[in-house]
Amino acid sequence: MPRREEATKLGRYHEQHPNTAQSLLEAAWRHCGAIQDIIDRLNEADTTAQAHLLANRLHRLAFRIRPASSAE
């Protein structure tokens, strides 16, 4: 996870370069779709041995993205 200064610099960069931010968002959507497909296939295969580890990792990832505050 990037340090606070790195995250702030990265956020400012994306505000200044919306095309880059848009490209990153589109890539993230593609990867989310791929992860969803893999999870569906794991469920079909009834693979539950390590499912809780995957669920925990995805849960942590969900909290890494925060909407930009309108006050900043």
Does residue 11 register a pLDDT over 70? no
Question: What's the pLDDT score for residue 19?
Answer: 75
CA distance 62 to 58: 6
- What residues contact residue 39 under an 8 Å CB cut-off, 6+ apart? 54
For 26-49, what is each residue's pLDDT tens digit?
Answer: 999 999 999 999 888 888 887 777
**Minimal CA–CA distance to 14: which of 2, 25, 4?**
25
pTM as predicted: 0.57
Name the percent of the chain lying above pLDDT 90: 18
